Amino acid sequence: MGAGRMADVQLDDTGEPAPPDAPAAPGRARRARAVLRRWWPLPVAGVLAVVAWQAVADARTESTAERLRETPGVITTTVTPPLDPTPMASPGLATALYGGVHTQDGFVAGTVVGDASDPVRVVGIDPADGEQVWSVDVAGPADPGLSSRGVACDSGIDDRARVLWCVLTDYGDASGAPEATRLVEVHLGDHAVRSERELDPGASAVAVGHALVVGTPGPESVHLVATDVRTGEQLWAADVPEPLAPGGGSGWLSRAGGHVLVVAASATWAVDAGSGSVQAGGAGVAVVRGDRLVDLQGSSRTLLLGADGSGTAVADGQVQLLAPDDGSAPDVLVVEVSDGSLERRLRGVDAASGEVLWERRSDGMASTNRLLLDGVLYGSGDRGRLWAVDALSGEERWSTEGGVLDDHRLMTDGVHLLRVERDARSGDPVLAAYALGSGRPAWSTPLPPGVDSVWTQGGILYGHGEDGAVVLR
């Protein structure tokens, strides 16, 4: 006889078959218990493995989300349904909150300009509930003979701010020409005016890091002088070779990346904030993707000027602004190209040469903003479809059909893509969430009563409607 492996044998107590309705024989019961004892750990282990895998996946997703939330424009907490609205403690501060800068103590500093009889104030707002925390007057009530007052404030940095620089210009009632301009420095930690000085009427100023640039318009040029805000030492002086447009008002001097932009009579001029070198001038000069200069020449052609303005490459189409943008895939620009029909094409191009890296169909007549995070470009449009592609290769990561778009804002909390859609049955506005990694629909929840739109500022989700602004949690 061949040698074989011995097997366990269970003997029945009886050789007769059991009647159909008879209870299980003792031998069969023992056999069932033996099988159960042998195999019961397997389904339990399977369940535990699934739970453990899900826990690891959730932890990995949350870890990625925390990293993405360091990017300006990304909501800083995971949004979950239902949405709980908290009315802003000071509804009139919504504009200051929306256009303000974040301070080092966690508040938002913004300007409040009321009637001519009211002072101009810089206020500190708690972004969690919209409550005013502090206030400082930067200008008294306007004189009765003035037609308007222009106010522009900026911190000079993209990080949390210590100081706010405010330029206030009073315009005459009869001529509408600037009559007086002041520069006010507000310390956001002390909540007090630190310094102020008179500028030439119609002048402007902007800070870029430690450089404070004052621009003074002349009949044939705009003169710029940069000083170190720490020492008062002059850093450089430069002239933009054309004047401002007549009656151009305020807002003609601004910062973008490491550049100072001057909006003159026929062109926007870019000046290097570090050296004062005039780098580029053109009707469509702008700064994209951090510090790259481009000149948008209509909707069909873009000059790629590079960070120093010396580039000569051309890209067909119009460069798209991406927000939020974490700076990944830094050598890629996204352009939209019209083919003469209602269809448009979206392309990724090399930022230096303009070489086309990939191309895909765009999002119909009306698209949302596009996001670029971790090397992935996200978008959607009025056709309802959401998509994600590799920013370098254009390879599609996922595509999914969404609901009817109601608002052209595409937002993210680092876990989901969020947008306002119309409920398929009721037609009411809902906030819909799609998984950032796969595009799968995650949830959809009605907007609170009276809220018809949502927006983000400083990592917080807000709503707006007939009763004003609310914080959404």
**pLDDT > 90 fraction of the chain, expressed in percent and rounded:** 65
Q: What is the pLDDT of residue 53?
A: 47
Q: Say how far apart CA 129 and CA 90 lie, in whole Å.
A: 9
Strand, helix or coil for residue 26: helix
Q: What is the pLDDT of residue 378?
A: 97
Q: What is the pLDDT of residue 30?
A: 62
Mean pLDDT on 174-196: 92
Listed in sequence order, the residues at least 6 apart from 362 whose beta carbon sits closer than 8 Å to its beta carbon are 336, 343, 344, 345, 346, 381
Q: What is the pLDDT of residue 60?
A: 64
Please check whether residue 25 is in contact with residue 5, taking contact to mean a CB–CB distance below 8 angstroms: no
Q: What is the pLDDT of residue 383?
A: 72
Residue 184 clears pLDDT 90, i.e. is over it: yes
Residue 17 clears pLDDT 50, i.e. is over it: no
Residue 16 clears pLDDT 50, i.e. is over it: no
Residue 145 clears pLDDT 90, i.e. is over it: no
Q: Say how far apart CA 109 and CA 134 lie, in whole Å.
A: 9
- Between 260-264, 297-301, 376-380, the lowest mean confidence (pLDDT) is in 297-301
Residue 8 clears pLDDT 50, i.e. is over it: no
Question: Does residue 50 or residue 225 have the better pLDDT?
Answer: 225
Q: What is the DSSP string of 61-83?
A: HHHHHHHHTTSTTS-SS---SSP
Q: What is the pLDDT of residue 27?
A: 59
Q: Say how far apart CA 152 and CA 146 lie, in whole Å.
A: 18
Q: What is the pLDDT of residue 463?
A: 93
Residue 15 clears pLDDT 50, i.e. is over it: no
pLDDT tens-digit map of 319-366: 999 999 999 999 999 999 987 766 788 999 999 999 999 999 887 666
Q: Say how far apart CA 268 and CA 262 lie, in whole Å.
A: 6
- Between 27-41, 299-313, 326-340, 435-449, the lowest mean confidence (pLDDT) is in 27-41
Q: How far apart are the first and last CA of the chain?
A: 77
Q: What is the DSSP string of 93-105?
A: GHHHHHT-EEBTT
312 phi, psi to nearest 5 deg:
-125, 0
Residue 225 clears pLDDT 50, i.e. is over it: yes
Mean pLDDT on 232-245: 96
pLDDT tens-digit map of 355-408: 999 999 887 666 889 999 999 999 998 677 899 999 999 999 999 999 888 888
